[in-house]
Structure 1
Amino acid sequence: MTSDVLRIEDRERVRTLVFNRPEAANAFNETLYLAVADALTKAATDDQISVVLLTGTGRTFTAGTDLKEMADIARAHAAGEPVGDAGKGFTTLMDVLVDFPKPLVAAVNGTGVGLGLTILAHCDLVLLAEGARLLAPFTTMGVAPEAGSSYLLPLRMGHQRAALALLAGEWITAEEAVASGLALRTCPPDTLLDTAHELARQIAAKPLRSLLATKRLITEAHRDGVRRAMERESAAFDALLRDASAADNVLSRLD
């Protein structure tokens, strides 16, 4: 159950998904988007899996969307060229995340940028390694927020802290993420994954039907709001990508 870009381990009713593109700081290309979406889809209907745990390989959680692929899409938009299924992986993963019926835990082992931050708002519990940092680089790149973050981050962090993160693009330390309510606690890096897995195992030991009902009750009130936010974000993102300078703005993040 392992691919080149995603390592998968099932143990004690917990499925661990490890983002595995260390040469690209675990950035999400189309292949990784679709691999994670597929693994979550299968976990959702597997009665032997009660909890899914997300983490990254090496010292980075994930650098977010692969910027080279994103710049290619921006160039096509600016030129008025059809982009076909480009970017479909992101949409596929978002659809799965919003509807994912089981508890989702994140063990943030290092830097999380873009999706490395916004995916955490879809997780039920988040643990961060001491020294981990998070960044929403969207205004720096000249684009719009993603993954329902314009709705979920104010909900999780409060309006002021979310606005600072999304508008100013300031780094969020692990301690600030905990203080804001985005994360539960920090752990020493060498014990993070074991601590997160033990928490996931404790949850997974509960009756699955009860976990499903409880997760549904926690998330159902906000699901429509998240979907509407993603629709607005997608429209704004597409409009901004049509700007002739969009590709350069995106690629500037590689420097």
Structure 2
Amino acid sequence: MTEPTILERRDAGVCTLTFNRPRAKNAFNEAMYGALADALAAAATDRSVRVVVLTGAGDAFCAGQDLSEMGPVEERDGPVGFDRLLDALSGHPKPLIAAVNGVGLGLGLTMLLHTDINYVATTARFKCPFVTLGVVPEAGSSFLLPRMLGRHATAELLLTARWLEADEAVALGLARAAVAPDRLLHVALETAHAIAKMPPEATQATKRLLKAADRPMVDAARRAEADAFRERLGSPENREAVAAFFEKRAPRWD
């Protein structure tokens, strides 16, 4: 029997969604995009759910797109379920809390720009590997990352694709706090349950106000990124990057 890619647990108004592909470092395939989008949609309309917590199974939070399950470059326009998932994240009416238990690559970082409160394990690490794959940023991150971290820090992270450690993620404002791994989920759930006790309509109205000013710019950034991504997908650099990944070698850019 196939294990579900998203595990769900509900308790006293808090819905915890766990990414459940630990052998793949919780990298997203098409089934997982759809499963998480469905779970978020269900939580959005269920009046008994006040807060949603996102975390990962095993020692990783999310390793981004699962390249090993993508078809040949020339046969695709990008992950089909990605936009649907992003809509579910960015437009979710209820507070979203992330408990980042390990590595966050690509989507594993950019989804944190759409959650409301992020806690990271002290062992968590992040990377935006888009340029190394010959493509461009996603998920409105070309607007939201500079908005959150500042332009210079964002440029360094995106253009060098270097690792970002947990303490620096907190210092830059990507996360609220770095927590010992064995206390991470407890801390996230403690905050979630505190919020769940608040008046739900006032809570959701407050979240809408916090996001309202940025919404037009986020939508514009997503459209521009999608256009640029389609242009880069299948380019010589992208083909070489994907080939190098599967062949386990360094890419050759000349």
TM-score, structure 1 length as denominator?
Answer: 0.92
Q: How many Å separate the matches in 1 of 2:108 and 2:15?
A: 19
CA, structure 1 residues 251+134, in 2 after alignment: closer, same or farther (shift >3 Å)?
farther
SS in 2 for 1:190: helix
Q: Which amino acid aligns with 1:63?
A: A
Q: Which amino acid aligns with 2:43?
A: A
Post-superposition offset of 1:75: 3.2
User: What is the rounded CA distance, in whole Å, between the counterparts of 1:251 and 1:128 in structure 2?
Assistant: 33
Q: Is the 8 A contact 1:98 1:223 kept in 2?
A: no
Aligned to 1:215, which of 182, 194, 207? 207
- The amino acid of 1:238's aligned partner reads R
Q: Which has the higher contact order (CA 8 A, sep 6+)?
A: 1
CA contact (8 A) 2:133 2:237 kept: no
Contact 1:75 1:246 in 2 (8 A): no
* CA 26–59 in structure 1, closer or farther in 2 if over 3 Å, else same: same
Paired with 1:222 and 1:3, the residues of 2 have a C-alpha distance of: 38
How many Å separate the matches in 1 of 2:72 and 2:209?
A: 38
Relative to 1, partners in 2 of residues 1:241 and 1:12: Cα closer, same or farther, differing over 3 Å? same
1:143 aligns with 2:135: yes
1:69, 1:226 → 2: CA distance? 28
Distance 2:69 2:181 in 1: 31
For 2:98, the aligned partner's letter is A
How far is 1:204 from its partner?
1.0
C-alpha distance after superposition, 1:127-181 (max 9, x if no partner): 0001210000001111000111111111111111111111111110000000001
Q: SS of 1:145's equivalent?
A: coil
Deviation at 1:17, TM superposition (A): 0.6
Distance 1:167 1:131, change over 3 A: same
Q: Tell me, yes or no, if structure 1 residue 196 matches structure 2 residue 188.
A: yes
Q: Which amino acid aligns with 2:217?
A: G
- The answer to whether the 8 Å contact 2:15/2:49 transfers is yes
Deviation, 1:45, is: 1.0
The alignment's TM-score, normalised by the length of structure 2, stands at 0.93
Shift of 1:242: 2.8
Deviation of residue 3 (structure 1)?
5.9
For 1:13-162, list aligned pairs within 5 A.
13-70=13-70, 72-76=71-75, 87-162=79-154
User: Separation in 1 of the partners of 2:124 and 2:243?
Assistant: 24
Give yes or no for the alignment of 1:183 onto 2:183.
no
Equivalent position of 2:234 in the other structure: 242
Question: What is the distance in 2 between the residues matched to 1:247 and 1:19?
Answer: 29
Secondary structure of the 1:127 match is strand
Deviations 1:86-143 (CA, angstroms, capped at 9, x unpaired): 6221011011122111111000000000000100011110000012100000011110
Tell me the percent identity.
46
Which piece of structure 1 moves more, 239-248 or 27-36?
Answer: 239-248
- Distance (whole Å) between structure 1 residues aligned to residue 232 and residue 13 of structure 2: 43
Per-residue deviation, 1:73: 5.0
Q: Which runs of 4+ in 1 moved over 3 A?
A: 251-255
Distance 1:68 1:107 in 2: 26
| Count of matched residue pairs | 246
- The question of whether the paired residues in 1 share the 8 Å contact of 2:101 and 2:123 is answered with no
CA offset at residue 66 of structure 1? 0.9
Is the partner of 1:28 in helix, strand or coil?
A: coil
In the TM superposition, residue 245 of structure 1 has moved relative to its aligned partner by 4.4
Partner Cα distance (2:4, 2:84) in 1: 19
One-letter code aligned to 2:74: R
**Aligned AA for 1:61?**
F
Q: Secondary structure at the match of 2:182?
A: coil
Is 1:229 matched with 2:221?
yes
1:51 touches 1:204 (CA, 8 Å); kept in 2? yes
Report if the CA contact (8 A) 1:75-1:247 is conserved.
no
What's the counterpart of residue 80 of structure 1?
A: none
The unaligned stretches of length 5 or more in structure 1 are 78-82
Using the alignment, how far apart are the partners of 1:179 and 1:130 within structure 2? 13
